[in-house]
Amino acid sequence: MQVLPAGPIETARGTVTVSGEVTATAGAKDDTAFFNYTDYEHNALRMFRLSLSAMWRPSPRFAALTEIRSEDLQRVIPYALYVRVRPWANRPFDIQAGRIPPVFGTFARRSYGADNPLIGFPLAYQYLTSMRPDAVPANADDLLLMRGRGWRASYPVGTPEPAPGVPVVSAYRWDTGVEARYAAERFEAAVSVTSGTLSNPRLDDDNDGRQIAGRVAWHPAVGLTLGASGARGAFVTRAIVNAYEEALGPHSYDQEAIGIDGEYSRGYWIVRGEAIVSRWTVPKINMPFIDRPLGARTGYVEGRYRFGPRVFAAARIDALSFTRLSGQRLFGGQPTEWDAPVSRIELGGGINIQRNLTARTVVQHNWRDGGRVQQRTYVSAQLSYWF
Amino acid sequence: MRAQIAATVASLAVSAALSAGGFRLPASSVRLAAPGVRLPASGVRLPASDPRAAGAIRGRVDVRVGPSADLRPDPASLGMGNPRDAQDRRRSVVYLETAPRGAFEAPSDRHARMDQRNERFIPHVLAITAGTWVDFPNGDRTYHNVFSLSKTKEFNLGRYAAGHSESVKFDQAGIVRVFCEIHSHMNAYILVFAHRFFAMTDDDGRYRIDGLPPGTYTLLVWNEAIHGDPPRRTVTMGEAGDVDADFTIR
């Protein structure tokens, strides 16, 4: 007799498979620094997450997939819901349509039993900048005033209520659209057209704009993957665009991003890294103007080493910085990064109690050049089970 | 010496709990060699040179269980995975609960092989005697990372590429679940016996255990689809002829 399933549950003659993951993460409360808050306003180092995935694959060339999640038992989110088609049986070319996984970068697609070697997420995929799609600063001072307040940013233009800003790339939501991928032995390429952007994936469209994103990956040797990604899509909501179209002329306020990634593994080592440069264009409304796109540069390197069948250690070094602009009232009018740069180091280790039951703990230290709290260390522990 | 071997075998009798795979212990343990191994009073020795000089137990295990894809839903993937055949779960292992004297005097340094091909372990079920080395050659063009967290044998071979092979010696009787850390659908079973009186079923489910002296034996069947007590059957072997014993697993 089994208490819990150890593998996927199959029904309907194997055409339907169901798997799941339960992750309980314990850590101290953080209602002042918000280094690890996600765009759903949960703390990544203190979260209970349930995930259920299902696939219906009636034929080798067609599948329907879904993944639903609940974080802190608050609401159930259809993280993924799409169909997958392979038009030609002998060609490794696939099309996916619906709420699909992002083609940009690598971290947001990690799966298979909490593939994250640590507990925290990379800054690029989690840290909330002060950028918002539904509210924008009228001038540079409005923006600088929100430095280090991405967890609760507010601006005079657009939605007046304070709300969380967006990460550079959201790993907690997936976008809606169509994606195509060709995957050969040493090379693969994917392109997608979706309704949201990297930082603001959407189920519905809020600006009549589309994002085009793509990624190419090369596998020059076994264990080595090198990738490059790019994306461009309309970011600011239609309500704001319409409000300033007459005064500023027709304009597209986009998020653009490029990224590179790499992974190398051998023996008991695995090392990964990503670097992303993103920029957002916002309306140039009042003096002092935000007359250039607002850029962000971020990257991380992480590694994991297995000491034996059960025990592993991992570490990640992470940084996020921003381009400079000058206000009038703030910072003496001197060029200042429009959001507070953040650095993070996370060290941890874990033990595989069973193949699909892992306990891990981490220590994470954050530095931020701005905001109410500029340094903070967190300790967190996690138990994750998957089938 | 024999008493020592018997005691060792008794201590090696292990449950079929697949603890590494998240399985709970079955209601009663499956023993590959029962504790308190009963040796024939007459101390019948097995003919070392020609095991067929003695009798055989043969039969068929009819497994009425469909194949399994063992594939987790992969909503994070950007496309279909490589096509793979479903895992055939019909292979069973028939073994004696209590082995006759001499069964444990097997030579050491034997080698068996479990390939990694097309993201499958081949064979999916491997039965060996304790003390056997199993080679795990990687025949794919991607990395694999073979590991097991089974109580019988914990190991992690790390990531190695095509053309390379690593080996593990299995010196304790029991069941070892084998996995790949990279590909969650890859899994296999290695059944390690303290004696040599076991047989894998063939494509038709047929098996044959040779070299048995006259006596009464309890046969058990292992199959991955069995989650409770294993089917068992007691047979008596006379001086002449073979004995038939069939099983059905639903």
Task: Examine the predicted complex and report whether its ipTM is higher than 0.95.
Answer: no
Q: What's residue A85's pLDDT?
A: 98
Per the structure block, which two tokens stand in for B155?
């190991």
Residues A93-115, mean pLDDT to the nearest whole number: 88
Q: B60-69 pLDDT, tens per residue?
A: 999 988 777 6
Q: How far is B202 from chain A (nearest CA, A)?
A: 24
With beta carbons under 8 A apart, name residues in chain A contacting B151. Answer: none
Spatial CB neighbours of B242, under 8 Å, sequence gap ≥ 6: B55, B56, B57, B58
DSSP 8-state class, residue A267: B
For A305-315, what is the mean pLDDT? Answer: 96
Helix (H), strand (E), coil (C) string for chain B: CHHHHHHHHHHHCCCCCCHHHCCCCCCCCCCCCCCCCCCCCCCCCCCCCCHHHCEEEEEEEEECCCCECCCCCCCCCCCCCCCCCCECCCCCEEEECCCCCCCCCCCCCCEEECEEECCEEECCEEEEECCEEEEEEECCCCCEEEEEECCCCEEEEEEECCCCEEEEEECCCEEEEEEECCCCCCEEEEEEECCCCEEECCCCCEEEEEEECCEEEEEEEECCCCCCCCCEEEEEECCCCCEECCEEEC
Q: How confident is the model at residue B41 (pLDDT cuts 50, 70, 90)?
A: very low
Domain boundaries, chain A: 89-386
A370 conformational bin, left if phi > 0, alpha if psi -120 to 50, beta if neither: left
Q: Is the pLDDT of residue B18 over 80?
A: no
With contacts defined as CB-CB under 8 Å, which chain A residues touch B141?
185, 222
Tokens coding A264: 């190398």
Contact status of A58 with chain B (Cβ, < 8 Å): no
Question: Which among A17, A265, A267 is the nearest to B73, CB-wise?
Answer: A17
* Average pLDDT of the residues in A78-86: 95
Say whether residue A355 is in contact with chain B using an 8 A CB cutoff: yes
B chain contacts of residue A53, beta-carbon cutoff 8 Å = 72-75
Q: Determine the length of chain A.
A: 387
Structural domains of chain B, with CATH: 2-39+55-65+88-249 (2.60.40.420)
Which pLDDT value is given to residue A248?
83
Among residues A237, A225, A265, A63, the alpha carbon closest in space to that of A163 is found at A237
Question: Quick one: average pLDDT of B154-175?
Answer: 94
Cα A58 to Cα A83: distance, rounded to the nearest angstrom:
12
CA distances from B174 to A72, B150, B193 (A): 41, 9, 7
Q: For residue B2, what pLDDT is reported?
A: 42
Lowest mean pLDDT among A97-106, A158-167, A249-258, A299-308: A249-258
Count CB-CB contacts under 10 A for residue B83.
10
The mean pLDDT value of chain A amounts to 94
Q: Which of B209, B180, B206 is nearest to B193 (CA)?
A: B209
Q: Which residues of A touch B187 (CB under 8 A)?
A: 7
CATH class of A89-386: mainly beta
Do residues B87 and B70 touch, judged by C-beta distance below 8 A?
yes
Distances (CA, A) of B236 to B94, B104, B214, B244: 16, 21, 8, 10
Query: Could you give phi then psi for residue A152, rounded to 5 degrees?
Result: -160, 75
Q: A378: Cβ–Cβ under 8 A, 6 or more apart, which residues?
A: A27, A28, A30, A35, A36, A45, A362, A363, A364, A365, A366
Q: Which DSSP string corresponds to A206-234?
A: SSS--EEEEEEEEEEETTEEEEEEEEEEE
CB hemisphere CA count around A262 (13 angstroms) = 10
- The structure tokens 């990279």 sit at B182
The model's confidence at residue B23, banded by pLDDT at 50, 70 and 90, is very low
Of A73-77, A318-322, A333-337, B122-126, least confident by mean pLDDT is: A73-77
User: Per-residue pLDDT averaged across A263-284, rounded?
Assistant: 97
Distances (CA, A) of A148 to A137, A260, A379, A383: 15, 26, 22, 31
Nearest to A339 by CA among A280, A251, A257: A280
The answer to whether the Cβ–Cβ distance between B73 and A18 falls below 8 Å is yes
For residue A215, how many other CB atoms are within 10 A of its CB? 24
Residue B30 has pLDDT above 50, yes or no: no
Whether A310 and B149 lie within 8 Å, measured CB to CB: yes
Both tokens of A360, joined, read: 């891990």
- Look at residues A32, A23, A30, A26 and name the one whose alpha carbon lies nearest to residue A46: A26
H/E run at residue A253: none
Cis-peptide into B35, omega within 30 deg? no
pLDDT digits (tens, 9 = 90+) for A210-230: 999 999 999 999 999 999 999
pLDDT tens sequence across A319-369: 999 999 999 999 999 999 999 999 999 999 999 999 999 999 999 999 999
Nearest to A364 by CA among A385, A340, A382: A382
Q: What does the pLDDT read at residue B81?
A: 81
Nearest to B156 among A66, A92, A308 (CB): A308
In the stretch 71-100 of chain A, residues with CB closer than 8 A to chain B read 79-80, 82, 84, 86, 92-94, 96
Structural contact between residues A53 and B48, judged by C-beta atoms closer than 8 angstroms: no
Write the pLDDT tens digit of every residue in B205-242: 999 999 888 899 999 999 998 988 999 999 998 877 78
Q: Which helix (H) or strand (E) holds A141?
A: helix A140-144
B-facing residues of A in 321-340 (CB < 8 A) are none
